[in-house]
């Protein structure tokens, strides 16, 4: 069978689509990377009503299923493809997409997007795409 993307990735729910109108931390699901070498976070913004809003991406990793052993990853990092700064955005990036790859050795990862200076509705969502599976095709 020819190698293709469809049979070599798994998509996980990360941050459900939501409208955020306050300053808050939007914390993703904990992503279990068991059986996959890589994880790519796909972040999307919809309309952003506040003309001052800032959205800052952070990433944590650990080996505990609850991330009780969590540690933050900082820019620049050899654990990332892209940068946290590159996955962060402002009010001037409505209807845009951002991505951030994790290639570290920890089993669990979690994305957080923290909003500041946000006083009106902003639509945000994120998915985690797991790649380089130990066994393909993926379910």
Average pLDDT, the chain: 94
Domain boundaries, the chain: 6-133
Structure-token match 């997007």, residue found? 113
Supply the pLDDT for residue 54.
96
Query: How high is the pLDDT of residue 1?
Result: 44
- Per-residue model confidence as pLDDT tens digits over 20-49: 999 999 999 999 999 999 999 999 999 999
Say if residues 68 and 11 touch (Cβ distance below 8 Å): no
Provide the whole-model pTM.
0.93
Q: Rounded distance, CA 27 to CA 112, Å? A: 4
pLDDT band with cut points at 50, 70 and 90 for residue 104: very high
Tell me how far the alpha carbon of residue 11 is from its chain's centroid.
12
The predicted structure's pLDDT at residue 139: 77
If you classify domain 6-133 with CATH, what class do you get?
A: mainly beta
Model confidence band, residue 4 (pLDDT cutoffs 50, 70, 90): confident
Within 8 A by CB and 6+ apart from 92, the residues are none
């Amino acid at each position: 069978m020819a190698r293709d993307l469809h049979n070599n990735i798994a998509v996980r729910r990360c941050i459900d689509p939501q409208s955020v109108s306050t300053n808050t931390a939007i914390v993703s699901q904990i992503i279990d990377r068991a059986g996959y070498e890589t994880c790519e976070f796909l972040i999307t913004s919809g309309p952003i009503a506040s003309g001052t809003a800032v959205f800052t991406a952070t990433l944590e990793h650990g080996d505990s299923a609850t991330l009780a052993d969590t540690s933050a990853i900082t820019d620049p990092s050899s654990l990332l493809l892209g940068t946290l700064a590159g996955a962060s955005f402002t009010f001037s990036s409505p209807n845009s997409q951002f991505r951030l790859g994790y290639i570290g050795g920890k089993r669990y990862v979690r994305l957080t997007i923290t909003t500041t200076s946000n006083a009106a509705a902003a639509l945000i969502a994120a998915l985690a795409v797991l790649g380089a599976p130990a066994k393909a095709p993926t379910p």
